[in-house]
Structure 1
Amino acid sequence: MALVYFGLGTNLGDKEKNLCLAIDKIRERIGRITSQSAFYASEPWGFESTNSFLNAVVCAETSISPLQLMEETQEIEKEIGRNKKSVNGTYSDRVIDIDILLYDDLILSTESLTIPHPLMTERLFVMKPLWEIAPELVIPGTGKTVQSFYDELSL
């Protein structure tokens, strides 16, 4: 079984309900949730919007491969109501976003999936909830802990 960390975000509709629904679907279809952060409000990152975000990080045990996991999370997003993905760094409002942040200590780079998530350490809305549940976790390929990235972003 692999430990997978997911970053969750929403800025449309009933945000708390959207996150809870995503967590329930991860539990049902991906694996047992081993830890879950609190929900954190944040401002949009990488685009302008009047809608603030609600974010969380969850960790789950899974036997699903990384590429199958990506397909499954995209299907969950569609079921919750997301019909448009960000393309080429152009972001927009969304009902739900599920990012695969980490998959055990795997480093993977394909055309469709990069693990660790390439922007996670630059985003306080990811690192704060990840810090809450796994401060001593070392981000593969960096040699640095979640705590050290969180400290840098919190300055």
Structure 2
Amino acid sequence: MKVYLGLGTNLGDKEANLHTAVQQINMRIGKVTSLSAFYVTAPWGFSSEHSFLNAACCVDTSLSPFEVLEKTQSIERDLGRTKKSVDGNYSDRLIDIDLLLYGDLILDTPALTLPHPLMHERRFVMEPLAEIAPKVVHPVLKQTMEYLKQQQ
């Protein structure tokens, strides 16, 4: 299954954080088949003096969506992330890995919503995602990633 993940960091050695996350994804989730450029972006949803470095990657995996979620959260913890954003309260983080798309699966559970419900509203997600998956169609909005990026 092709899975698209969004990556972000705004603390420490940001480039190293993203490279380490990608290595861990490759080891624990599946083969990383594409990785976007790294994009410098402003914080979204909160104020911080630290800019973000964001990227997106595509992974071929045999894991279920919930197993991918568990593995991404485990990677975040192992790389030093101590808390997740809760109820829209965002904060600085060493690493953030968001499950954006799992094939064309549409899922809405308390633990996981697919596709990621806010991805199309976030330029820091859509820019790297459209770079590596311009023709992939959002399963709910029925628009390509390239088109959704242009709507930002």
Compute the TM-score of the two structures, normalised by the length of structure 2: 0.99
Give 1:41 shift: 0.3
Per-residue CA distance 1:8-51 (angstroms, 9 max, x = gap): 00000000000000000000011011111000000000000000
- The 3-state SS of whatever aligns with 2:33 is strand
1:101 aligns with 2:94: no
Identical pairs, percent = 59
CA–CA separation in structure 2 for the residues paired with 1:91 and 1:112: 18
- The 3-state SS of whatever aligns with 2:57 is strand
Aligned length: 152
The root-mean-square deviation of aligned C-alpha atoms, in Å, is 0.5
Give 1:68 shift: 1.2
5+ residue gaps, structure 2, are none
Per-residue CA distance 1:44-86 (angstroms, 9 max, x = gap): 0000000000000000000110111111100000000000110
Partner of 2:29: 30
**TM superposition outliers: structure 1 runs of 4+ over 3 Å:** none
Partner of 2:80: 81
- The 3-state SS of whatever aligns with 1:144 is coil
Give 1:141 shift: 1.1
Partner of 2:127: 128
CA–CA separation in structure 1 for the residues paired with 2:142 and 2:69: 25
CA–CA separation in structure 1 for the residues paired with 2:70 and 2:135: 29
